[in-house]
Chains A and B, each alone.
Chain A
């Protein structure tokens, strides 16, 4: 009876609009929904695109690498680790790995040393700070295609500016493109030119957060600029140094456009593969439509990157011990 009474009473109680209490409840509900759900709505565009065009290709590469997979055929035979096995016996692969390492070391080590030093110089009160910073970044704004086209001209054998300048000291013209060592140097110079200023700015940003008193104390103690750089600046900005070393390593392992264009679009990186990098080797197999093999190289490259980054991380971390 009680229930019937309540149902009988309700309609007469309810006016046209819901009572204020119900509206408030609705609002609370909407608010709660807003609080709970809207964060997902805000990251959804990012997540959807990321999964479709970032995560999916990444995982799918692993799947493709386990197959004999070309665009020419509809059947993709599962070969397990066969591609990787073939890769380890492929002398072109090891050649590309060596070239990548060589160009990586030649371009990264001097580049980072120079970048730290430049940042150190810029970290002083100077006139025209902004102009110097802008010119530092100018090479980085220049596209890699432009850089290589320009530097290929500069490194020309017969009429290049570099050989002309070298000839002042009586040196014979160098055929930069032909040799292994000379081509690695030329490519490394292009990479250095493009990235030194960028890294210097990152270092500079970190240096500006180092407390000034440290330098004042060091100056009173009579420490030179170089000692201050070695004993104060570098230890204080170590996280940034680690970060830059790792990102530079990753970048160096992926070098592609420089050797591709330096070889005037040769996928083999010169007639003797003297500067074919791993990325270029991937691209060569990609254009042969040998997707399974190319995917296997990609994963090997990723493995190298992880190892190289880990080694560099440990080395940079260890440098801490000797510095502080």
Chain B
């Protein structure tokens, strides 16, 4: 860590960081301002800078315009299922890659890392065709099943377990007559818990915010939050108050949860970040 900066430089550092924090929060704040006014008030110069009193009216209009309650339920179920599944299966695969020796293991791990680099769009078209064949389009299966596990999760847990899980502990378990499954259940899972929790949160957030694939695979009648929001934004061009009320409604819960758990998420990113 560099030395502590002398007085003026330190003040400048704080001012810069405060400015960044301000600009990080400003758009979110402004969306609440717009969401709480009526559309006519937005055609003013200067633009309004403090919230008005129309938030609840706009929010209830959101529920009238799109099936938003269903969208919220869908998003919670989809993101929740994906998060739990990714946590569990990534820990399993990560355990095998990090601590067990098997033929082809290194190759499979390399393949995992390589596919993290391939753009998701490349597979969207055949994936869609596959979903048509399975008759899953328009249903949540199309979102959940392909996302039950992902390369990033496997890589993340492999990294974590190879560092955080002492091999001696596993050997001791073996000497005591533990099977591999016993080791996984009694030693690996408890040791993986901190990283798995972070992975779960990250996965939940990205599944909640996923946009392109749900847009392709779902219908407006049975949307997730993001698809419902884009319907709002697409159909009611000039109705900013409405679309931003929806946006605030679909965003603020996640922002709130993040504000509570952000410290752990950031700790996870800082740990899982690729360090040379």
Residues of A within 8 A of B (CB): 31, 34-36, 38-40, 42-43, 45-47, 49-50, 52-58, 60-61, 64, 71, 118, 120-126, 130-139, 141-154, 158-161, 164, 193, 197-198, 201-202, 204-206, 208-209, 212, 215-216, 219, 225, 228, 237-240, 243, 246, 250, 253-254, 256-257, 261, 264-265, 279, 282-283, 286, 291, 294-295, 298-299, 301-302, 305, 309
Contact = CB atoms under 8 A, between A and B. Distances in A.
Given A39-B105, A61-B125, A264-B234, A50 B149 contact: yes
B2 A215 contact: yes
Contact of B24 (A55, A138, A146): A138
A212 B1 contact: yes
Contact of A57 (B127, B226, B271): B127
Contacts of B46: 164
Given A137-B262, A201-B269, 14 more contacts: A38-B180, A39-B102, A40-B102, A123-B1, A126-B17, A135-B25, A138-B25, A202-B274, A212-B1, A254-B120, A257-B212, A264-B237, A295-B126, A301-B121
Contacts of A299: 122
Contacts of A239: 274-276
Contact of B258 (A124, A141, A193, A201): A141
12 contacts: A43-B105, A58-B118, A125-B1, A132-B20, A153-B30, A159-B44, A202-B274, A208-B270, A237-B276, A254-B121, A256-B121, A302-B119
B166 interface: no
Contacts of B13: 121, 124, 126
A187 to B, nearest CB: 15
A209 B24 contact: no
Contacts of B105: 39, 43
A143 B208 contact: yes
A53 B146 contact: yes
Given A141-B255, A144-B209, A254-B119, A265 B125 contact: no
A163 B154 CA distance: 46
Contacts of A216: 3
A197 B122 contact: no
A198 B93 CA distance: 27
Given A53-B146, A134-B266, A138-B28, A301 B125 contact: no
Nearest to B216: A286
A116 B97 CA distance: 33
B255 A46 contact: no
Contacts of A60: 126, 129
Nearest to A65: B125
Contacts, number: 306
Given A193-B27, A205-B269, A261 B230 contact: yes
Interface residues of B, number: 99
Main secondary structure of the interface of B (DSSP, over half): helix
Nearest to B115: A54
B2 A225 contact: yes
A256 B255 contact: no
Contact of A150 (B14, B30, B108): B30
Contact of A145 (B16, B25, B226): B226
Given A49-B148, A57-B126, A282-B121, A42 B44 contact: no
Nearest to A151: B27
B211 A257 contact: yes
B43 interface: yes
B55 to A, nearest CB: 16
Contacts of A39: 96, 100-102, 105, 180
B65 to A, nearest CB: 14
A143 B251 contact: yes
B273 A205 contact: yes
Given A58-B118, A149-B229, A64 B47 contact: no
Nearest to A55: B115
B125 A295 contact: yes
Among A60, A145, A254: residue with most chain B CB under 10 A: A145
Nearest to B261: A134
B175 interface: no
- 5 closest Cβ pairs, A-B complex: A57-B123, A239-B276, A53-B146, A265-B234, A39-B102
B124 interface: yes
Contacts of B115: 50, 54-55
Interface string B214-252: 001000000001100110011001001001100100110
